[in-house]
Structure 1
Amino acid sequence: MARHGKKYNDAAKQVDPLKLYGLDEAIASVKELSSTKFDASIDAAINLNVNPRHADQMVRGSLLLPHGRGKQTTVVVFAKGEHAAAAEAAGADFVGADNIIQRITADNWTDFDVAVATPDMMGQVGRIGPILGPRGLMPNPKSGTVTFDVAKIVKELKAGRVEFRVDKAGIIHLSFARVSFDEQKIKENLEEVISTLARLKPASSKAPYFRKISISSTMGPGFKLDTNFAREML
């Protein structure tokens, strides 16, 4: 069982574990009870009524948060020639081909958030799949990270594009804001997350689609939300 520090335990005492919090109250409380010295992220755990073992109930995709994540996304691009130049111009942090692959292979280097590759590079990138795959860093056509339009995807990632995928338990975990954001921006970011998931609702999923939603700050206690606001977006 995880053991928490005094600050966490003191904050947790102020949370009613049986209560379903309204969105505004939960956001205000998450901000108030955050005790980290750094600008903590605000995370959501969204339990969907889906069975990811069935292909027609897999929920995955990406979205652009209206106010970004409040954190710089470090982007690696595997590309050559004009596509490499376009990635650099768009603001990619690391751009290359054999040199980056060699660095990842030799040093097990994965100090980045997202990897993008042009289709012609995937044969080489596939060789480092055993390193990137377990960390969720492998470029994937379904998420738009395998593309010749590297400038567009790099700009989106830098602007706060977030990728998500339901796990085996039917839960989506993602960071969608920072504690330093004002409450309205936090709310609008979360509403964008929920409305995106509502649009992706599989036809075969059963009601209620949104089973549970909770939000928390880094190292802070979680607040269970009343899901009525989410159901209204369906």
Structure 2
Amino acid sequence: MTAPAQTPDPGSAPAAAARRLVEARYGEGLAAVLGGSAAGGRFTARSDLDIAVLLPEGGRDRRETVRHEGRCAEVFLHTAADLRTLFAEGGANRRATMAFLHAGSVPLYDPHGLAAERCREARELIAAGPAPLTDAERDDSRYLLTDLAEDLADTAGPGQDPHEQLALADRTLREAAHLLSAVRGAWSGARKWLPRRLRAADPVLGAALLDGHLAVARHGGPGPLCAAAHTVLGLVGGPLREGLVHTRGPGGPGTAGG
């Protein structure tokens, strides 16, 4: 049985374990924080420790996965300059992964307030929200979601390949979540963060997308997910197929949704 979630503070058991790991392996760090589930009230017996270590300028930017005291830890090591670059990249891809880690973190070691400054920058970025989609990005996403929803609708009925259907449902959910989050001016997410951020962006329509995806997985019925996807499309002008000019290079639409 999975242990119930707990909300740690800087003196909690997860934070104490993370602090011992930093002291044992990352003595070159100027500061360190604990983020992720251990800092956000979702910590369980199987949770990793997500640790960010601030390096002096010239330090080697890297990510390490280690095991410490029987628990897996993901350790992100960046200089202040590297971290600002990652914050900017996260803003551009609309997920802000590293900013979220810092924004919701608890301090492990910060004698000069350097981590506190980075965390403040992260919270400001998160609070500001992602930039609106450009017209090209919006139309690129409209086109892709239209295409996916049509392909998914074609899998209704007997004789269809359930593996193809589920693969299409996964991609449809991701693209619809990307577009809906952008419309609502909210951050999007991947993996377990996709449903969390989607519900936060739009509790009603986000739930309809998630329930529609579940209907495909459980019953092989694509109708509810297709209907929810078309509701999302209705927020940005409806389905788009004919008329899109898809170019590559500066100024052209990219690949929406990732």
Higher helix share: 2
TM range (shorter): under 0.3
Determine which structure has greater relative contact order: mean sequence separation of CA pairs < 8 Å that are 6+ residues apart, divided by chain length. Answer: 1
Structure having the higher Rg:
2
The TM-score, its normalising length taken from structure 1, stands at: 0.22
